Amino acid sequence: MFFGRVMGWLMIGLAVIMASADAVLALGPTEYAGIITADVVTLIAGHAPDTADAGRSMLDGLAAAFLDMPAWIAVGLMGISLSVACRKRQRQRRFVFRR
């Protein structure tokens, strides 16, 4: 659980850095070309994701929509969901006898 929380917070930090890089690109003098998730997947995997058949099923359409969103949103959502799923929970006591 500790590793999941740490990775979640690291992904949230990476999303903040990616959002600031995207803002710098938007304010630059050249044409705005944001960082999309497909670019990040291409850098990590070494090849472009296959989205040519992205109209066949609902899952393919969802994957294509996920790859077309800005990378900082995708990484931020994954970080938030990972840190929420791995959070510390209070121990629930079912039978508490008080005197």
Q: Partners of 70 in the beta sheet?
A: 36
Into how many domains does the chain fold? 1
pLDDT digits (tens, 9 = 90+) for 11-56: 999 999 999 988 988 888 888 888 888 888 888 888 877 766 545 6
**Cα separations in angstroms, 47 against 1, 14, 36, 41, 44:** 32, 22, 15, 8, 8
**Cα separations in angstroms, 20 against 9, 15, 77:** 17, 9, 16
If we measure between CA atoms, which residue out of 35, 38, 46, 95 comes closest to residue 64?
38
Residue 95 falls inside a structural domain: no
Q: Give the burial class of 19: count Cβ atoms within 10 A of its Cβ; 0-12 exposed, 13-18 middle, 19 or more buried.
A: middle
Between 54 and 8, the higher pLDDT residue = 8
Residue 91 falls inside a structural domain: no
Residues 28, 23: Cα–Cα separation, whole Å: 9
Range of the domain at 48: 2-85
Q: Give the burial class of 75: count Cβ atoms within 10 A of its Cβ; 0-12 exposed, 13-18 middle, 19 or more buried.
A: buried
Model confidence, pTM: 0.74
Q: What is the pLDDT of residue 52?
A: 60
Residue 96 falls inside a structural domain: no
Residue 92 falls inside a structural domain: no
